[in-house]
Chain A
């Protein structure tokens, strides 16, 4: 296996920082569960604690993938895409006529996309899904002969593929960026992307739960408030700026990058919520206790990853 990076001291510091945050969260969660009395707060705190427990598992899996190296990270994101996409399609009322198309999309197109990441074939990585899969899906559906709601069914598969596979695959693709003076440190860049988007989600949740009053889009996501939005985005941007030493960015550039990905992360959460509301469900799945499905956890990364990748590639390589 071609090892493009090893675990550096910087990565260890980053991991240590995350573990410190988790320890503090677990202790806080434990204290809260001891002092809470009312029925309503009890429920929120139970959910909070199951979220924190799930975070431990997610951090462990993510760290293990990073330590294995590029192959591990690519495989982790490939499975994440696979699972998010199955949650998405499960919610989407596809027809009998989509069956064979879906088989191709799950077992051929998705693995090829991640193989392209692994072998770093940038050109084909960029166009395989938007061009070739885009054309393949309606062709295969047409061959299956079911015309009922044809455009709608085709569009749903294409859209799910773009969000769950194409967009997410940009996250491990940052490992391949060739940044002058930042050789073999792609892992830290991926770490920056994932940590900042996820911390932004966490802080939006924390500020929303504690101070949230004014709802942003009550029809789409009743939990998103202006207080949570501003508090979460500001905190995550500051934290992102504070991580500049692990990235090829200056502190100001790191702040700008963090702001861009937190805003996109927010947009991702909002957009994916609109789909859930339309389908009348609360979560995409139930794989991750306290959080819901995989899609509920990575909706922010779906939107942030491609933009982060291209901003970094355009300005820093």
Chain B
């Protein structure tokens, strides 16, 4: 019920145009990695997926934001089934990577924003190394680049009321770590695969 209202509202506010440019909207275990410019990014990407895919997908989100207050907590835990990770004081014990790998082993797909924080729009910022480590450890999963357009204009950082412009969510072709590719090279290529989905 809450989910249906959120999906409907998200589609109304953002126009919900989805482009499957390099892969099909089918149910497979996948890691969707996207650029991050707005608090709504996760919700928008989640709403854009077909229901069968959405059922098994878990967005990776920051615990410090989503555990603050009962409503956010409810949404994160009950509606989005998010994997909440800590961004501060990361140690071997609470390494977010473990949580993500556990979710993948439980056959979930995940949504991840490898920039780690929201960018001001345009070209995505530098990718954190988490994506590389996940791919190294679970090479059989499909890694799909996603570009979410215009969200920085719909709900930019520091604003709380959205403006109903039209967004476009593009899903690209899956990528893998190439043989002998260094972490830095891979992260640059992953970032480029997201950026290449930008349209004029």
Binding site for B on A (CB under 8 A): 82, 86-87, 89-90, 94, 96, 99-100, 102-103, 106, 280-281, 285-287
Q: Which residues of B sit under 8 angstroms from A102, Cβ to Cβ?
A: 163
Known pairs A86-B166, A89-B165; A94 contacts B200 (CB<8 A): no
Q: Which of B122-144 contact A (CB under 8 A)?
A: none
**A100 partner residues in chain B, CB cutoff 8 A:** 159, 161
B contact patch SS: loop
CB<8 Å pairs between A and B, sample of 8: A86-B166, A94-B153, A96-B156, A99-B153, A99-B156, A100-B159, A103-B161, A103-B163
**B116 at the A interface (CB under 8 A):** no
Encode contact with A along B1-36: 1 for CB under 8 Å, 0 otherwise.
000000000000001010000000000000000000
Q: Give chain A residues whose Cβ lies under 8 Å from the Cβ of B17.
A: 286
Main secondary structure of the interface of A (DSSP, over half): helix
Q: Judge if B164 is at the interface, Cβ distance under 8 Å.
A: yes
CB of A90 within 8 A of CB of B163, answer: no
> Which chain A residues lie closer than 8 Å to B164 at the CB level?
82, 86, 106
Name the residue of chain B whose CB is nearest to the CB of A94: B153
Residue contact B200 to A106, C-beta cutoff 8 Å = no
Which residue from B15, B162, B165, B200 sits with its C-beta under 8 Å from A280? B200
Say how far A107's CB is from chain B's closest CB, in angstroms.
8
Determine whether the beta carbon of A90 is less than 8 Å from that of B166.
yes
- Give chain B nearest CB distance to A93 CB in angstroms: 9
Add 15 more A-B contacts to A280-B200, A281-B200 (CB < 8 A).
Answer: A86-B165, A86-B166, A89-B165, A90-B150, A90-B165, A94-B153, A96-B120, A99-B159, A100-B159, A100-B161, A103-B163, A106-B164, A285-B166, A286-B17, A287-B15
CB distance from B40 to the nearest CB of A (A): 14
Shortest distance from the beta carbon of A153 to any chain B beta carbon, whole Å:
12
Shortest C-beta distance, A122 to chain B (Å), equals 29
Interface centre among A86, A94, A100, A287 (most CB of B within 10 A): A86
Alpha-carbon distance between A3 and B85 when the two chains are bound, in angstroms: 57
Binary contact track B149-175/A, C-beta < 8 Å → 1, others 0: 010010010010111111000000000
